[in-house]
Amino acid sequence: MSEPRRVLTAHWDDPSVIPLAGYEAAGGYRALRTALGMSADELIQLVKDSGLRGRGGAGFPTGMKWSFVPRNTGKPTYVTVNFDESEPGTCNNRELVEREPHALIEGAAIAARAIDCHLAYIYIRGEYLWQGQVLQRALDEAYAVGYLGRDIMGGDYDLDIVLHRGAGAYICGEETALLSSLEGFRGQPRLRPPFPAVEGLYESPTVINNVETLMNVPHIVNNGAEWFKAVGTEKAPGTKMFTISGKVERPGNYELPMGTPFRVLLEEHGGGVLGGKAIKAWTPGGSSTPFLTADHLEVGLDFESVMEAGSLLGTGAIMVLDESDCMVEAARRLVEFYAHESCGKCTPCREGTWWATRVLGRIEGGYGRDEDLPLMADVGENILFRAFCALADGAVSPIQSTLQHFMDEYEAHIREGRCPVTGKGPGHHDAEPAPDAVTFATTGPFEIQGAPT
């Protein structure tokens, strides 16, 4: 098994780094002290030179995002940590914070210093109760010794960090919905531009970064840009936390260099497909990214390589499906999630995802019709890129990618009136025939056309 350089997980086997004393003994807060002696321009240039890209999904260059924050506007500037980790299959940020909470605080403090921010927020997923306690304890420790608060580390820089608990909505992982929620409003996305860097929290310049992104920053300050670029790919340097789950022998979080072939993660670290079965499909970056197949095992896990293969790296959450899984059912379950989590602001998302679940359920349930296949493709096209945020686009991914790679399964469901993989026939789950298959009967209240007797 290959053993790449561990950066974010270097101390995972040492629980003594969770409290402040242990973190300091391991070199913690040395980077913040260095950063306080640097100018904002120097810090931003260092992160730019490192090539660090956001780990939350978009992969935008972090230093460039920081540089977009205007100065001397007369408004305060804010740093907001996106810890609303709600993408199905994703749990790397949770474990990063559990095992080294002060690394996030240090990274957020350095980011704040870079944009002259004096009040930062950590927006944490509502369901992360334990992680919230761990983080709050770490914040209290940092305040107690002067790493946060007034004149931190004896200098003239003030910084407060507030832990804000969300209410548990997937949409609040979208940065503008997160800002709305943080301001006390319903978590719904905003039209962009203006982008948050110019007009974000309370209409003030705001940098929003993912947990993993910020936890890389202290290492870059300590070791330099060239050190960071020594691993990974030219366009995506550094390591990445990959979460692998589903039909694998050893699910979990693994830190690997960007660009590592998926086969290495699956076989050397994940232990291979559960039970020795054949892999059928996998998501490179969570449920919102298009499925890839067994033909893509050699794809490098970096932004460009995954995109070239027809998907997105996203959060690096890889869900594995094996030969015994029904792809129509997989698509239906994922789209149901997005229909449930749609905030309702945009009609294509609110209505389209609901209708997609009905048609997918009809096909899966054995009531599918030939016209359902072009109908599904049409529904997908009329949702994609027609909403304020990427939730709708994510909902389309399982539809379009399963139609692309597993059309034969859809056709077999319709032709045979049952699942060709599992053998399950009509009525095996709670999916109902879509509403347009229901009509009034002459002698009874309702009659379902085409339903088996």
- The predicted-structure confidence for 340-392, as pLDDT tens digits, reads as follows 999 999 999 999 999 999 999 999 988 999 999 999 999 989 998 888 888 88
Per-residue HEC secondary structure of 141-172 comes to HHHHCCCCECCHHHCCCCEEEEEEECCCCHHH
For the segment 40-63, what is each residue's pLDDT rounded down to a tens digit? Answer: 999 999 999 999 999 988 889 999
Determine the average pLDDT of the residues in 119-136: 95
> Bridge-partner residues for 279, per DSSP?
322
Q: What is the distance between the alpha carbons of residues 119 and 206, in angstroms, rounded to a whole number? A: 11
- What is the predicted pLDDT for the residue at 443? 33
Given a cut of 70, is residue 334 above it in pLDDT? yes
Sign of the dihedral through C-alpha 146, 43, 57, 277: negative
Q: Three-state SS for 390?
A: helix
User: Residue 145 CB: number of other CB atoms within 10 A?
Assistant: 14
Long-range contacts of 46-50 (CB under 8 A, 24+ apart): 46/220, 46/221, 46/224, 46/225, 47/114, 47/217, 47/220, 47/225, 49/225, 50/220, 50/224, 50/225, 50/228, 50/229, 50/237, 50/238
Element (H, E) at 374: helix 372-381
- What is the predicted pLDDT for the residue at 86? 87
- What is the predicted pLDDT for the residue at 4? 62
For the segment 158-202, what is each residue's pLDDT rounded down to a tens digit? Answer: 999 999 999 889 999 999 999 999 999 999 999 889 999 999 999
- What is the predicted pLDDT for the residue at 192? 86
Look at 191 and 2; give whichever has higher pLDDT. 191
230-to-2, 18, 279 alpha-carbon distances in Å: 17, 28, 32
Parallel, antiparallel or unpaired: strands 252-257 and 447-448: unpaired
pTM: 0.90
For the segment 234-261, what is each residue's pLDDT rounded down to a tens digit? Answer: 999 999 999 999 999 999 999 999 999 9
Which tokens belong to 448?
């379902």
How sure is the predictor about 399, in pLDDT bands with cuts at 50, 70 and 90? very high
Determine the average pLDDT of the residues in 21-33: 96
Q: What is the distance between the alpha carbons of residues 17 and 11, in angstroms, rounded to a whole number? A: 7
Q: What is the distance between the alpha carbons of residues 223 and 166, in angstroms, rounded to a whole number? A: 34
Long-range contacts of 424-430 (CB under 8 A, 24+ apart): 424/326, 425/366, 426/365, 426/366, 426/367, 426/451, 426/452, 427/365, 427/366, 427/452, 428/365, 428/366, 429/329, 429/361, 429/364, 429/365
Which tokens belong to 96?
């990063």
Over pLDDT 70: what percentage of the chain? 93
Q: Do residues 221 and 28 make contact, with C-beta atoms less than 8 angstroms apart?
A: no
Q: What is the distance between the alpha carbons of residues 433 and 419, in angstroms, rounded to a whole number? A: 16
Q: What is the distance between the alpha carbons of residues 116 and 39, in angstroms, rounded to a whole number? A: 10
Q: Do residues 414 and 367 make contact, with C-beta atoms less than 8 angstroms apart?
A: no
